[in-house]
Structure 1
Amino acid sequence: MRIRAALLAVLLTAVGCGSGQTGGAASNPDAALKVGVSPVPHAQILRYVADNLAKDKGLKIDVVEFTDYVQPNTALVDGSLDANYFQTVPYLETFKASSNAKLEWIGPVHLEPLGVYSKKIKKLADLASGAKVGLANDPANEARGLRLLQANGLIKLKDGTEKTATVADVADNPKKLEFVTLEAAQLPRSLEDTDASVVNGNYAIDAGLKPATDALVLEKAEGNPNANGLVTRAELKDDKRIKDLLALLQSQQVKDYIAKEFNGSVLAV
């Protein structure tokens, strides 16, 4: 999501006034950790941990769901959450650069391969000249989507722009594709109006798509920097409960659960 002016104002207010003590567990080591997540697959994975593994470490977890990519970070900044689990390192770095938020990446948990989906074609080669292609409109995922299109030969980006690319950085577009940027959560619904859309794995699954079988192409897992992981505020990065939660999220039990539950559409890292 490219952060609109109104959302940016909220974000900056939160960063300016957040004390890290409102509603979170920072001041009470026995309180439940409040962890913000996207509904799928993050909430499912975290609830598995909360229901089956957390008790062994004496850990209490409150799962707080969000349907966008802005509020989990602003709520973490203002102290309403103690951690979140929904984002990648590139997305976190973009957020921090725009807000000066003191958030810390704790560790990776899983990868949701970004995919290209369509209700109108069966393979990318069938995209017609002038076809309309949907992309996420936040900087990290827009660049990620463009890299996927480049990796599959549809476009070429200007040299050196790959990490931060926008549609303005498309140097070669032989099919004259028309790019439409939307909130990431809207991209599955956009398939009614676009010829193809690049959809984040969590939103694809939430919309009933099966990335492993429904995507025309998927990101490769090898060397992919876009694992989703656990994030907290700087003052909580060494908190034992945060470390215990990461250990559980990275445990073999969770890896086995992800493999069984998501059948290749979500990959443990």
Structure 2
Amino acid sequence: MLKRKGFILLALLLIVSLVAVACGQGEESAPNEEQNQGETPSEGTEENTNETETQVLKVGATAVPHAEILEEVVAPLLEEQGISLEVTVFQDYILPNKNLFEGDLDANFFQHIPYLTSQNEEHNYGLVEVAGVHIEPMGGYSDRYDSIEDLPDGALILHPDAVSEEGRVLALLESKGLITLAEGVGFYGTVRDIVDNPHNFEFRGVEAATLAQAYVDGDLAIINTNYALQAGLSPAEDSLILEEPDNNPYVNVLAALEANQNDEGIQKLAEALNSPEVRDYILEKYEGNVIPAF
């Protein structure tokens, strides 16, 4: 009997010890749970989730004035909106549209509306005007003569060889009384539309990007203003003849693929290009050689 009581007592003591150990472990785990609850690993995750990723816009442009406007004025405006602008500078008029069509660019800024139209017709690019920005009045320059009246009969006139530019050149010459075009051709004439050439001028198309260097080879060279400025020529001061900006259809535009024209980043880029900051920059820097069109 005594042994049985001793056995029962021993068993009771063992049970009490096990309960005490279990309670001790429960008390020790409580601080760990509180510590785990106090930790905030999720805060770091939430912070990363809330961080806004910078959108990158790739834009093609010719150097002057387009890339200057983009880099000096537009890029800082877009940076404030979380958009990083990457500008690729081109020296020709062919690659910016080709690269945009192929997806290497998000937009481009270098061309006027008639050129954009002709490129779409020729290559089926499907590019659209997103915003009109400025006009670059085209001028005629000479290394041989100081006045348009000094041009001799039979003078050689060099001009850009693009189809969209030929009519522009002829319209400029007609506006100065140097030739007469067939009625109604406007800015879309060709040399075949000349009905009166009293001075027997000769015409030669030259790749636009080389005209500013090659104009010494002709008596008069009609040069796109972006290339003239890049070569240190001032249309307002150095040209013998210059387009009037009024009713000028050659507005330089921001262009994008039709499918992407309403992209938020593209629209913000368009807004920045039509901002007061860009207008003031154009007026101050280019002194009438480039004219805002908005």
- The structure 2 residue matched to 1:161, chosen from 180, 185, 192, is 185
Shift of 1:182: 0.4
For the residues of structure 2 that align with 1:130 and 1:51, how far apart are their CA atoms?
48
Provide Cα deviations, 1:225-246, integer angstroms capped at 9, x if missing partner.
1110100001111111111111
For the residues of structure 2 that align with 1:101 and 1:87, how far apart are their CA atoms?
14
Unmatched 5+ stretches in structure 1:
1-28
For the residues of structure 2 that align with 1:258 and 1:59, how far apart are their CA atoms?
22
Secondary structure in structure 2 of the residue aligned to 1:44: helix
Q: Provide TM-score, normalisation by structure 1.
A: 0.87
Q: Is the 8 A contact 1:50 1:60 kept in 2?
A: no
Aligned to 1:3: none
Provide Cα deviations, 1:117-167, integer angstroms capped at 9, x if missing partner.
111111211110000101111011111111100111111112233332222
2:216 partner letter = E
Shift of 1:49: 2.8
Shift of 1:84: 0.3
Secondary structure in structure 2 of the residue aligned to 1:192: helix
1:74 matched to 2:98? The reply is: yes
- The structure 2 residue matched to 1:86, chosen from 101, 105, 110, is 110
Shift of 1:189: 1.5
For the residues of structure 2 that align with 1:141 and 1:158, how far apart are their CA atoms?
17
- The structure 2 residue matched to 1:138, chosen from 134, 137, 162, is 162
1:255 matched to 2:279? The reply is: yes
For the residues of structure 2 that align with 1:126 and 1:211, how far apart are their CA atoms?
19
For the residues of structure 2 that align with 1:155 and 1:50, how far apart are their CA atoms?
41
Q: Is the 8 A contact 1:114 1:198 kept in 2?
A: yes
User: Sequence identity, in percent?
Assistant: 39
Flag the structure with higher helix content: 2
Aligned to 1:4: none
Q: Is the 8 A contact 2:74 2:273 kept in 1?
A: no
Q: Is the 8 A contact 1:37 1:85 kept in 2?
A: yes
Q: Provide TM-score, normalisation by structure 2.
A: 0.79
For the residues of structure 2 that align with 1:147 and 1:265, how far apart are their CA atoms?
19
> Higher Cα Rg: structure 1 or 2?
2
Aligned to 1:178: 202
1:208 matched to 2:232? The reply is: yes
State the aligned residue count. Answer: 241
Q: Is the 8 A contact 1:89 1:226 kept in 2?
A: yes
- The structure 2 residue matched to 1:196, chosen from 220, 228, 231, is 220
The alignment yields a C-alpha RMSD, in angstroms, of 1.3
Secondary structure in structure 2 of the residue aligned to 1:213: helix
Provide Cα deviations, 1:44-99, integer angstroms capped at 9, x if missing partner.
00101344311222221100011111100000000011100001110010011111
Secondary structure in structure 2 of the residue aligned to 1:265: coil
For the residues of structure 2 that align with 1:220 and 1:164, how far apart are their CA atoms?
17
